[in-house]
């Protein structure tokens, strides 16, 4: 994809998005709803037309607005799992799954076996003669996945396929999807707003906001080294404060000088926004640069505790393995190594400037 742009009327849904996907790669578009990630998927599928830009698949140009070229979806060797599943209600499970085979010119006698294989892969064998209305949401979703993999498409598009499932099923399916991708060697373009899904499954993540790609990299790179405030926020940073750059690698925030990695061009003494993950804090003894505060609220999450801590009128969200104390208790906290990142952006500024 190159220089993709999409306008709905005067509203720009995508501006200058470019990326490539390698064979067998699992690429995720991660971003809040309305950031344009689904639009990209629909453009790749050929059911939406870009306002400007080109899409190339395996050396063949399938979209090129300059040349006025747009090949119809049925000629692109891909499949898609829709957020709504789009399992056709008037066909049985087997007929739904067999549908792509018919149009991908698979000989009739081979189809039944391939349908069986696909259904077995999503653990839905035995449901072949059911109708969609007899299935639960999770089962329908598996049928949708079976249908999308049965013909071994060159590219599999997934549009928030797990968002309608309950938490338990979502985790199971996440593992199933990754297993299928590895076993079948599928190339996948995955869209989600759930950072956990993106981090767990992807080879590469594109963080998106407001119709543009903010950052691109492996899950570890993106998680550990956010390049913008918006990307940091989206990847789970909950604490952001306005501060000033005190010197190279040091910021002044909450009245204390703290070490921080600085992203972007900021002048010494100039304003920065400091971002710290909830798990970037450790209990510390008072004094020095330690942060003193008072516990307002404690939430037990299972493997960890979340605390809301009041520090001179500013609220910190702190996650620790052990309980720090009860409501009203005073605590002192230090920073974990390289936990703070300072961005040369105003706290509520638009991402990317």
Q: Which of residues 5-34 bind other proteins (CB under 8 A)?
A: 8
What is the rounded CA–CA span in Å between residue 85 and residue 161?
7
Q: Does 88 bind other proteins (CB under 8 A)?
A: yes
What is the rounded CA–CA span in Å between residue 64 and residue 80?
21
Residue 62 DSSP label: E
Rounded to a whole number of angstroms, the minimum distance from the CB of residue 171 to other proteins is 22
Cα-trace Rg, the chain: 24
Q: Give the three-state DSSP class for 293.
A: strand
Of 42, 142, 210, 319, the one binding other proteins (CB under 8 A) is 42
Q: Does 131 bind other proteins (CB under 8 A)?
A: yes
Q: Does 36 bind other proteins (CB under 8 A)?
A: no
Structure tokens belonging to residue 325: 């104390």
Task: Specify the residue, 164 or 320, whose C-beta has the smaller distance to other proteins.
Answer: 164
Q: Which of residues 144-203 bind other proteins (CB under 8 A)?
A: 147, 151, 157, 164
**Nearest-CA neighbor of 57 among 67, 49, 46?**
46
Q: Does 57 bind other proteins (CB under 8 A)?
A: no
Q: Does 80 bind other proteins (CB under 8 A)?
A: yes
How far CA 215 is from CA of 234, 309, 327, in Å, comes to 11, 31, 39
Question: Residue 333 forms beta bridges with which residues?
Answer: 283, 291
Rounded to a whole number of angstroms, the minimum distance from the CB of residue 17 to other proteins is 17
Structure tokens belonging to residue 278: 């909830």
Q: Which residue bears the tokens 């190159």?
A: 2
For the chain, the distance separating the N- and C-terminal CA atoms, rounded to the nearest angstrom, is 24
Q: Which of residues 91-110 bind other proteins (CB under 8 A)?
A: 91, 99-100, 102-104
Task: Specify the residue, 148 or 215, whose C-beta has the smaller distance to other proteins.
Answer: 148
Task: Specify the residue, 43 or 229, whose C-beta has the smaller distance to other proteins.
Answer: 43
Q: Does 204 bind other proteins (CB under 8 A)?
A: no
Enumerate binding residues for other proteins (CB under 8 A).
8, 38-39, 42, 45-49, 72-74, 76, 78-80, 82-86, 88-91, 99-100, 102-104, 131-133, 147, 151, 157, 164
């Amino acid at each position: 994809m190159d220089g993709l742009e999409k306008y709905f009327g005067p509203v720009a849904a995508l501006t200058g998005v470019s990326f490539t996907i390698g064979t067998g790669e699992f690429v995720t578009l991660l971003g809040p709803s309305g950031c344009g990630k689904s639009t990209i998927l629909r453009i790749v599928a050929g059911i939406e037309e870009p306002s400007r830009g080109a899409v190339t698949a395996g050396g063949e140009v399938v979209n090129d607005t300059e040349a006025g070229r747009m090949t119809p979806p049925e000629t692109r060797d891909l499949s898609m799992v829709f957020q709504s599943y789009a399992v056709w209600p008037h066909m049985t499970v087997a007929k739904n799954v067999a549908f792509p085979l018919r149009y991908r010119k698979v000989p009739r006698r081979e189809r039944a076996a391939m349908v069986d294989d696909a259904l077995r892969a999503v653990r839905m064998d035995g449901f072949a003669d059911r109708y969609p209305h007899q299935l639960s949401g999770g089962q329908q979703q598996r049928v949708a996945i079976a249908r999308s993999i049965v013909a071994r498409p060159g590219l599999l598009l997934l549009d928030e396929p797990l968002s309608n499932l309950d938490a338990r099923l979502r985790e199971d399916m996440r593992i199933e999807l990754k297993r299928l991708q590895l076993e079948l060697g599928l190339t996948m373009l995955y869209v989600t707003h759930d950072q956990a899904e993106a981090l767990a499954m992807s080879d590469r993540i594109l963080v998106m906001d407001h119709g543009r790609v903010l950052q691109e990299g492996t899950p570890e790179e993106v998680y550990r080294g956010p390049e913008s405030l918006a990307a940091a926020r989206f990847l789970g940073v909950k604490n952001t404060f306005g501060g000033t750059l005190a010197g190279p690698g040091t910021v002044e925030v909450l009245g204390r000088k703290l070490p921080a990695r600085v992203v972007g061009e900021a002048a010494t003494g100039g304003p920065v926004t400091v971002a710290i993950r909830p798990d970037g804090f450790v209990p510390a003894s008072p004094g020095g640069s330690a942060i003193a505060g008072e516990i307002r609220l404690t939430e037990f999450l299972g493997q960890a505790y979340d605390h809301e801590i009041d520090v001179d009128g500013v609220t910190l969200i702190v996650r620790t393995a052990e309980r720090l104390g009860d409501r009203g208790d005073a605590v002192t906290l230090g920073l974990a190594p390289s936990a703070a990142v300072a961005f040369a952006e105003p706290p509520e500024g638009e991402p990317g400037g």
